[in-house]
Chain A
């Protein structure tokens, strides 16, 4: 079971109080994009064994969205951060690199 921290209300609770909503930091291709780009946005998702960035919502709590970085293999949670961002903040990346020395952003 994951223990997740909500950066909006400051509560740390187990995962059943939250809900996962899939991969984070997608580029939302819309009108004007190519069919391939649109297809990739709609259907193609990473499915890494290891570090993964996800969107979560504090479903049974404050109701707000945020991001979580976690490991899909060990279920280690590296940290959570604001939903109002296009990329993970540096301290989260530093922490992941600390925990997973071989990991490279973009490869998973």
Chain B
């Protein structure tokens, strides 16, 4: 197997009010199907290694996790090395179900924004209420960051993890860094 290469080779920038780092490679499987069917969620839980998340939530533990993407879609996360085995296992379990599982690990880029002003950096780019009381760790949100579609969740109160299409990785990295550039602090959330 060839060596996995992330979109930006793990680029990182800590010069601004928050640190932006490209993560990965991360194993990601998109699962589409009827989430009210037991066999589908059971297979997802087995692959993700966490319990089934509620609507608009995301459960993670270590490298594993499940994120609720839409009423018929889940994103299963795992170690990059295990993604092929997990996918084969998942497809075996879902052979009799009307469901689709695809390995999207190399089609996505993953970023982490960290620091005390993470919420502000995201609030500048996405139409999401980032107030600490509104968007709490564990919630998962698919939205847009400036001009591109992305999904993110708060790992903890000062860290956000963002998933976007690999083709827009450079754009998102630049945009996040622009929103986090030195001297651009508004202090909106620290006033509260």
Contact = CB atoms under 8 A, between A and B. Distances in A.
A64 B127 contact: no
A61 B69 CA distance: 8
Contact count band on B: 10 to 19
B143 A13 contact: yes
B61 to A, nearest CB: 24
Contact of B143 (A8, A10, A61): A61
B142 A62 contact: yes
Contacts of A14: 127
Interface string B67-89: 00111010000000000000000
A27 B114 CA distance: 51
Interface in A1-45: 8-11, 13-14, 16-17
Contacts of A13: 127-128, 143
Which has the most chain B C-beta neighbours within 10 Å: A14, A59, A60? A60
B70 A62 contact: yes
Contact of A17 (B69, B71, B143): B143
Contacts of A89: none
A14 B143 CA distance: 11
Contacts of A48: none
B144 interface: yes
Given A60-B142, A62-B142, A63-B70, A17 B56 contact: no
B170 interface: no
Interface residues of A, number: 14
Nearest to A11: B56
Contacts of B56: 9-11
A10 to B, nearest CB: 6
B11 to A, nearest CB: 24
A73 to B, nearest CB: 24
A62 B140 CA distance: 11
Contacts of A9: 55-56, 70-71, 142
Contact of A16 (B70, B127, B141): B127
Given A13-B127, A17-B143, 5 more contacts: A9-B55, A9-B56, A9-B70, A60-B142, A60-B149
Across chains A and B, which 6 residue pairs bring their CB atoms closest together, nearest first? A62-B70, A60-B144, A60-B149, A61-B142, A14-B127, A13-B127
24 contacts: A8-B70, A8-B71, A9-B56, A9-B71, A10-B55, A10-B56, A11-B56, A11-B141, A13-B127, A13-B143, A14-B127, A16-B127, A16-B144, A17-B127, A17-B143, A17-B144, A60-B143, A61-B70, A61-B142, A62-B69, A62-B71, A62-B142, A63-B70, A64-B70
Interface of A: 8-11, 13-14, 16-17, 59-64
Interface of B: 55-56, 69-71, 73, 127-128, 141-144, 149
